[in-house]
Amino acid sequence: MIEGLIRREFNRWAAQGRPRGLEKSHWEITRQLIELMNVQPHDNIADLGCGVGAATRVLAERASRGFSVGIDLSDEMLRQARSGYRNPGNTIFVVADASRIPCNQDFFTSLLSVESIYYYPNLEGAFEEVHRILQPGGRAYFLINYYKENVFSHPWAKYIDIPVHLLSADGYMKLLSAAGFRSTNHRRIINSTPLGDDWEPSRWFQTRKEHMSFQAEGALLVTAEK
């Protein structure tokens, strides 16, 4: 099954030590998103596709009287999240597919997903499941670097060994509306962190100018309210 393929790929990434690099490259846009969420002490928050849990831990500190639940298909990512970091006591990590989350209906105040939604084979099912587990009035936040409007991200697909979705902002909003969300919006979040003097070409960005152009386009933030 495709879920097994995805789990194996991200377990491989975890074994290679890639999570810390991903945390670093995504942190500035993640930080901005967490500020926008306006987390309250009693909130219950889901971090979908949490990896090794950087955002999960920050959210747990802010929702100090609620729960912060990191959800990921990769059991190796979550093994590292549990054992390699100092986790607040209200942090929980759950191995699960995005379309089959073992949580009660209407449990979460809000949900975020950073750079993971385009990997999910069943996007419709994932969005329906997010709608199910959110409380009425709860909000979902999806932060996406690989999307149709940012052409500088398009070459990434040939370096990823699993299928990925390339959707537009409107495409995501249509799927969320079909899943039952009553209000959807989108905006960009810009990573203004300067590229260091030690920048080098990679398979993701062949030139410094290309990397700067990618950052200028910004990450796509799609939000939806139940």
Task: Tell me the per-residue pLDDT of 75-118, one tens digit each, with 9 for 90 and over.
Answer: 999 999 999 899 999 999 999 999 999 999 999 999 999 999 99
**Global pTM?**
0.95
Q: Are the CB atoms for 100 and 128 separated by under 8 Å? A: no
- Give me the pLDDT at residue 75, please: 96
**pLDDT tens digit string along 107-132?**
999 999 999 999 999 999 999 999 99
CA dihedral 136, 67, 74, 204 (to 10 degrees): 80
Residues of the chain scoring pLDDT < 50: none
What CATH number did the domain enclosing 194 receive?
3.40.50.150
Domain hosting 157: range is 2-225
Neighbours of 198 (CB within 10 A): 5
Count the domains in the chain: 1
Q: Quick one: tokens of 18? A: 């890639």
- Give me the pLDDT at residue 21, please: 80
- Those residues whose C-beta lies under 8 Å from the C-beta of residue 226, and which sit 6 or more positions away, are 131, 134, 135, 136, 137, 138, 139, 140, 180, 181, 182
Give the chain's end-to-end CA distance (angstroms, integer): 31
- Give me the pLDDT at residue 2, please: 86
- Give me the pLDDT at residue 174, please: 98
Q: Quick one: tokens of 221? A: 């933030």
